[in-house]
Structure 1
Amino acid sequence: MNHPRGPRAARGAAPRHDDRRRSFPQVAPRTAPDGRFASSWWGNAWVAALEATALDQARLARGKAYAGRGHVDAITVTPGRVVAYVHGSRPRPYRTEIRMRTLGDDGWERFLDEATARPDHIAALLDKDVPHALEAVTGLLPAPGDLVPDCTCPDDGWPCKHAAALCYQAARLLDEDPFVLFLMRGRGEPELLAELTRRNAARGAVEAAAAPPMPTVPARIAVGAATGVGLPPLPPELPVPDRPGRPPVFPPDPHAPDPLALDLLATEAAARAHAFLATGRDPVAALTPWQDAVRLAAAHPGSGLTASSRALYRDLAYAVDRTPTDLARAVAAWRQGGAAGLSVLEEPWDPPAGPFDRARPALLAADFPAFRPWRNHLSGDTLQLRLGRDGLWYGYESDAGREDWWPRGAPDPDPVGALTDLLGR
């Protein structure tokens, strides 16, 4: 019997698949309505990394035009490198590439640990989405200066129009499949999915072993009532979780609702459900729409200073027909004293004689200047105290000569204590 020789058998064998090399056919020309070449946040971040270090905006514009007209041939992606032939003004195309550093083992460990820490992260990755939290932990996306262009054309621009065209077209690949980005950073999709599956299974086994067994009732006993047999008592109720659950990650989509608003609503729903489960009452059911808007804004960090919180304040204020300044002042009152603090800000009232009348001589005895009384207010040039219906004094500040009072400090049953806290004395 004749056996095939080694070399001949090797030539007839199926080629081995390379998990760290992917080739993509030429991307069809496409012009987005807004002029962008990517719709995902990571695709646009890829483009921004190149544009941030470009020395010539005219070359970028020509590169974008080349990409839009389909001058970029098939693209090959390997760890740390994106390569394609790009057609220019000459008959022969130029070999163009974009190089970047790959993630080290420590970076991939952080990525995998963060990805498997939350089931919604794994679900997002399987759905070809990249949660922002993974980028924040690992730095997957290139920063300005991380992308290094190279081309066989004679142009020494940084980048040349051919490299810019390749970068724009690569952004479309990232839009379709973020695992292309992971391959650029050093690891292929099969390798990553296998490791995510392994770690997720190990994490699930640990959690299952640590969880107490679920109390059950045998089916034959549960249906015994039909035959006149008494039912056993129900198993004990499950304990209330220590804290509300975390909502899923909502991917940004230009055609979907604001992801920040969705995340905020989901977080609120989880917190209210947890409070209702633990106490039997809804903590915000009695609030008016305005009070609830103030509460929502007060729970969000940033006080209207960051871009996301400015958008939140704007939208909430618009929804209740107020201005963002009105909302910011109300948030300061809510953080000072909750619903009671907001009432002090918005509802002057006539307190009974007693604590209010004793406050002025007490302040004078503590070497504070004289305060002018009006209803439940005691006002100076830049400082003010307001007596709440809860018996606490609330501090306020304003610039001299202006009636623009803002809540400051912590409420106190003693007016001197409230001013002392306000002044940090």
Structure 2
Amino acid sequence: MQLKDFMYYPNLGCRLAMIRCYEWRGSKLPAVEQTLIQQLWFLLGAINLFYQNLGLVIDLSLSETQKELSAFIAQISETCSVMGLTLVGASNMWMLLYYRREIEAVLGELQELYPPRRQRIYRIKHYYEQSTRLMKHSTTFFLFAYAYYNSLPIVELCYELLAASQQVKYKAQSDTWYPWHLFLAERSALSFAASYLCQAISSLSGVAVIMSGQYLMCFFTTQMRMHFDALANGLSTLDARHSEANEQLKEMIVYHCRLLHIEQQINRIFNFMFLSNFSTSTIAICLMAFAMVMINLAAAFKYSVGLMSFLVFCVFICYNGTQFTLASDKLLPAAFYNNWYDGDRNYRRMLLFFIMRSCESRVLRTYKFTPVSMATYMAMLKFSYQLFTFFRAMIK
């Protein structure tokens, strides 16, 4: 089992988005160049994904909103909830492209640290199965959410065509303005087909980059957890009375310093993704719940999958952040309960230095002020519910 085996699901997201898979030194992977068709498909998906944010704002500004406060808030909720998904997808795509060199550099460092053969202190199979199971279930959900979201307009259209008393509305996935609305009726069949196709491509690109960004973060946290666990096991089995104990402890301190350096690089890469996901999700969860309650039954079915998507990928990020912190917290007790009292003065001094550096928990943070943890996830849900009750009170 090699490091590249852990990258299966992050590469799957890259392939769905038609982004070139990551390459790093020591991976021994053949360089694969993108074909012209793949490059054009990526550009088409990226343009549609970024444009949909603008199209939603233009459609909202051009719409003739009723004077009632309830109708205005319902329309704002419907527009902003869809925009939340597109903004998260666009921010993830920007992060994957902008930090590509940094990501490949971290992958190269992890390749150097990856154990060359099976060692007792490394639980490679355990962490591989754990991370693969988590990403596999998440992939199933995201692909189901994509198919569900894009099938609803077709189901609604078929129902309107089969029902004699029903008026055909030709409503796409979201109310997005496109340039062809200037010379085609917005509710015509041709305009519906073009809008539906553009939004299907946009949502596929958004789902793919969200999967790739989250799975890449899961990959990094899994590798760091594996190394922290191996370092803690190595400290617990280190015998201070051994003649080579000092040299072994020096190697572990250097190993720990490299892990701390990689942790800082990971934080720097994912800072923007954490910020955009948390800030957007907090508001979007509230607005989607409000749209489900205030608009109609069809909106409730449509936005239920969006609400679940935000809940799933936020808990995915926060769960990995919590597991990362718990793995780093193993180092302090492992060093403290070592038989340091049997070592010489230099050994005890080095171990004290290691303990001092391990006192602070290693936490993934959003620009050094919001920890990525399950506690943050619960606080985010609490704030979303407070916003939801505030909007409900305004309507009443």
Normalising by structure 1, we get a TM-score of: 0.23
Larger Rg: 1
Higher helix share: 2
Q: Which has the higher contact order (CA 8 A, sep 6+)?
A: 2
Higher strand share: 1
Normalising by structure 2, we get a TM-score of: 0.25
